[in-house]
Amino acid sequence: MGNRRAPSLSKERIRNLKQYKKMPDDEFEAVWENKVAGIVTSSAFESRIVRKIDEFKKDYDVDDLKANDLLTLRALAQAYITLEDLEQVYYEMRIDGIDLDSDKVFKFEKISNVMSSIRNDISKMQIDLGITRKSRKGDKEQSVINELETLKDKAKLFYEKKMFYMFCPKCNMLLATTWFLYPEEKNNKIQLICNRKLQSGEICGHKLQITSKELLDKKGVNTEDVPEFFK
């Protein structure tokens, strides 16, 4: 008996399906040859696959998948659909109860084993595609951590740009940092005494007097001899 394909599925129509649009021509031709050879899905089943892939798109980022990944995504959708159908069959078989002396027990065991195998396949395909629930949660957590670090860096930069730094001109000790609402006001004056204990055991004791206008003119730092750790 010769090979034939369902008349409702044309090559052009298959090519325009979402899962095949971005597929390279050579890979699509291989898929089409399989369909011509008799591996043709019904339009109803094809619609279920498309709907299942659309469900994935709502929860996962699958728009940038490569051709091979798209094939895996399709296989994942089929696996989910098959598992759903088997679970329905399993449920309907249980409605009438389980007779340990009947063949139904062996059918239960066989269906259960098949469902277990499909679940393992689904798990492996999810890992291959990087769309497991665990990895999605990890990505979100990492994204939050990165965002917090970015905000901290921005806050630090903002702080450094807005604050004024006053060093002891004698020993380079950082005596104070402050922020002025009106730094251009010439009458804003600060007086600081350096109480740093020097290596000799003596107290530095240098008195620093400076205005906010002077600090503003010096770009927020009262001395050019800034300690290396501050740069």
- Higher per-residue confidence, 168 vs 159: 168
Residue 202 lies in a domain: yes
> What pLDDT is stored for residue 6 in this prediction?
43
Band the pLDDT of 66: cuts 50, 70, 90: confident
Residue 141 lies in a domain: no
Number of domains in the chain: 2
> What pLDDT is stored for residue 206 in this prediction?
93
> What pLDDT is stored for residue 42 in this prediction?
66
Q: Are residues 127 and 55 in the same domain?
A: yes
Q: Are residues 187 and 113 in the same domain?
A: no
> What pLDDT is stored for residue 157 in this prediction?
64
Q: Are residues 51 and 115 in the same domain?
A: yes
Residue 144 lies in a domain: no
- Percent of the chain exceeding pLDDT 70 equals 73
Instruction: State the average pLDDT over residues 41-49.
Output: 75
pTM: 0.41
Q: Are residues 187 and 126 in the same domain?
A: no
Q: Are residues 124 and 168 in the same domain?
A: no
Residue 149 lies in a domain: no
SS3 labels along the chain: CCCCCCCCCCHHHHHCCHHHHCCCHHHHHHHHHHHHCCCCCCHHHHHHHHHHHHHHHHHCCCCCCCHHHHHHHHHHHHHHHHHHHHHHHHHHHHHCCCCCCCCHHHHHHHHHHHHHHHHHHHHHHHHHHCCCHHHHHHHHHHHHHHHHHHHHHHHHHHHHHHCEEEECCCCCCEEEEECCCCCCCCCCEEEEECCCECCCCCECCCEEEEEHHHHHHCCCECCCCCCHHHC
> What pLDDT is stored for residue 134 in this prediction?
46
Q: Are residues 93 and 52 in the same domain?
A: yes
pLDDT > 80? residue 187: yes
Q: Are residues 121 and 15 in the same domain?
A: yes
Of 111, 131, 151, the one marking the end of a domain is 131
> What pLDDT is stored for residue 139 in this prediction?
61
Q: Are residues 108 and 219 in the same domain?
A: no
Q: Are residues 189 and 108 in the same domain?
A: no
Q: Are residues 198 and 126 in the same domain?
A: no
Q: Are residues 116 and 169 in the same domain?
A: no
pLDDT in tens, 206-228: 999 999 999 888 888 888 776 55
Residue 176 lies in a domain: yes
pLDDT in tens, 73-117: 889 999 998 888 888 887 777 766 666 556 777 777 788 888 889
pLDDT > 70? residue 158: no
Of 91, 107, 131, the one marking the end of a domain is 131
- Name the residue range of residue 204's domain: 163-223
Q: Are residues 117 and 181 in the same domain?
A: no
